[in-house]
Each structure stands twice: as C-alpha cells, then as structure tokens.
Amino acid sequence: MPILMHVSMGNIDGVFHPGQNVEGTLHFEVTEVLKAKGIKIILEGTANTKWIMSKGNRESHGRTREVPYSAKLNYINSEVLVWQPDEGRSKGTYGHIRYEVKAILERPWKPNRTAHQHFTVAPTFDLNSYSSANLPVEGSKTKKIGFCLFRHGKIDVSMKLEKKGFVCGDEIGVRVHVDNYSRRPVIRAECVLIQQSRYLAYRYGMGCDDDSAIEVGRYLSRKREDRRIAGVMQELLIAPHTDQNFGLRIHVPCTVPTFNSTLIHVDYRVEVRVYAKCRIRNLVRCDGGIVIGTIPLFYEDELEKAEEAGEVITSTYEEAASNAISHRLDEDEDERFVPRYLIYRRHPKQEEQPPPLDDISPVPDLDDDDVID
C-alpha cells in the first residue's frame, strides 16, 4: 500500500485525566508521491445508548413494531487542520462511553485516508472526599424457603462490611451471620461483586433539554443491566435450628470507578447468597451498596503500614476485566480496544541484592614487584 497511517498517544498507558492535555503523534509511511488537500485531527468523546423495543396498540390487532431508542451526548468534539497546501486552507449491552482521536488525510479525487486511536479518560474519584466512604455497610434478609405445601421454615441472613469505599485491587472482607430456623441445612454461601449500570435513551434518538423534558417524557426509556464481575463460593453445613458466623473475602478487579453521567450511571453492590438443601426457593440473598474510587482512603497511612509490614503498594493502569463494563458496542467499531483503569497492588519489599559475580571486574594479577613483605 502506498500510504500507512497510525496514531500513537503521548501517554504510554493511553490514560488521561480531566483537564489534562491529550498529546500524540501521527505517523505516515509513504512509498510514493501523493496529492493531498489537507490533514485534519479530530478529537471525539461521546456517550451513547441504544436498544430496540417492541410496541403495539389495539388498532394493530396483535401486531407489534420495533421502535429504536437511542441517545448521544458529546463530551469532546474538536477538529484541527494541522496541514494544508499553500493554495488551500473513554461496552455495555445498551451503551458505552468512548474517546478517540482521528486523523484524516484529504486527497483530491481519491478516497480520504483515516487513522484513529482510542484512549481512556479516567476520572479522579478521591474516596477521602466522599463523606460515607469510611462508614460500615450492613444488610439483612429473611425469607421462607420451600413452596406451597412444602414449606421448610425461614432463614435469616445478615452481612456487614467495615467500610463503603474501595479501589481496584482492594480486598473486601464480608462478615456473614446465618440463622437457620428451617428444617433444612444450609449447604453453601456465595459472595459476589455486582456492577449495576443504568442507561437512558429517547425514541428515534430524540434528545431533550431541561425545558422540553416534560414534553418528550413519553419518548424516554430506561434500561438497567447487572453484571457479576467477581465472586467467591464457600461450602457450609449449618444444621437446622442453629446459627453460624463466618467471613468471606473478595478482590475488586480492574474496572471503571463509580460515576454518574447524563446517559449512563454505574454503581456497585456486594451481594451474599445462601443456599439451603431443597429443590424450590432455596436461595436467600442480601446486599449492600459500595463505591469504587481511584484514590484510597487514608492513602499515606496505608503506605506507612505496608512499609512496616515489609510490603510496597504500587499503582498501574491495566485493562478492564473482561466481564466489567465494556466500551465496545457497535459491530463496526474496533473490538480490540479495552479501556484501562487504575489498580493498586501489594508486593513484598525486595531487599537490595549484591551484584552478580559476572558483573564484577576481575582483580588483575599482581607482579612480584607489587607484593609487600
């Protein structure tokens, strides 16, 4: 091919923060002389939602029609003409947020050539500025197991977290108490971290501002999606008419922090599921909401504690977990792009080791004149 184009971001991680300059380089590989009208750099950041609903009415005699719902919100839309001749001039099922930089080479009487590069805009969420991040989280649920003539009694489940705020890489400790008032034993417990996403869209892509929200309210639709992004299971044996306390621990994978935008809202919750030994209605679940940020609670104190324990805490940008919220929706978009988010990890502190013997210069042999009696 006579022309090859690609864009490389100035930040190696490809992650930028709000207010930070987005820098990069456009690379050309040209094997022959070509004519061009100009080179444009386009920076785009959008939030998109889209789904299809089936609707019908009395006059349709049972027939339904598919009505598309969609919405789009621009966060960034910038276009710069970086060159012209002298004579011229950040994927869910229902929505995503994506940022990309696009370069366009405009050629006369020939198709334009384009190159684009996706990048991540990582919002800064300091848990120390969230008033309830250090408060405990509690939840409880009482449910009768069995069905109709096969009732077995009730089971009471309660859970407690020491705090509400976490960052990617943290370990969530859950204390669970089970009161088994039923005639069946409890055989298993499960703890899962669930990402709850909520989407908003309008029929036929109609948008609205605050003044017209009432008029187009009937054209508005909302969707909700729950995804399990981490989980752990533990076998139990809680006999009938007994109780038991136990703990479960779950790691927070690399995922998008809690955020709220006009079209997409992401929350997290920890859910405890207890299973009894019966066939019907054997599950009792309780949950509690948490928040995931980017700056841990009392970070300086955590660094000192880790150093005393002979550990170091490092923070890096890694690709989001495959089962976390995705920015890859449309089939015609680049499926290879995976957003990157900040994750914290603990490592044992490495002691300084002496250099290997191979790196040490040998001592020259001494002559007889250099020997001291």
For position 257, which CATH number holds?
2.60.40.640
Q: Which of 72, 104, 121 is the last residue in one of the domains?
A: 121
Q: 251 with 161, same domain? A: yes
Total domain count, the chain: 2
The letter for the amino acid at 164 is: K
Q: Is residue 144 part of a domain?
A: yes
C-alpha gyration radius of the chain: 29
Q: Is residue 356 part of a domain?
A: no
Q: 277 with 162, same domain? A: yes
Q: Which of 69, 94, 121 is the last residue in one of the domains?
A: 121
Distance of alpha carbon 346 from its chain centroid, rounded?
20
Q: 102 with 169, same domain? A: no
pLDDT value at residue 12? 73
The letter for the amino acid at 214 is: I
Query: For residue 211, what are the domain limits?
Result: 127-348
Q: Is residue 102 part of a domain?
A: yes
CA-to-CA dists, residue 30 to 1, 34, 197, angstroms = 9, 8, 45
Q: 34 with 148, same domain? A: no
Tell me, yes or no, if the pTM score tops 0.85. no
SS3 163: coil
Both tokens of 55, joined, read: 């609707």
pLDDT value at residue 64? 76
Regions in the chain scoring below 70 on pLDDT: 1-2, 31-37, 57-62, 82-96, 204, 206-218, 322-337, 350-373
Q: 62 with 152, same domain? A: no
- What's phi and psi for 307, nearest 5 deg? -65, -40
Q: 150 with 220, same domain? A: yes
Q: 117 with 15, same domain? A: yes
Q: Is residue 362 part of a domain?
A: no
Q: Is 149 exposed, middle or buried (0-12, 13-18, 19+ CB in 10 A)?
A: exposed
Q: Which of 73, 91, 121 is the last residue in one of the domains?
A: 121
Both tokens of 103, joined, read: 């370069």
Q: Is residue 366 part of a domain?
A: no
Q: 185 with 52, same domain? A: no
Q: 195 with 306, same domain? A: yes
Q: 149 with 258, same domain? A: yes
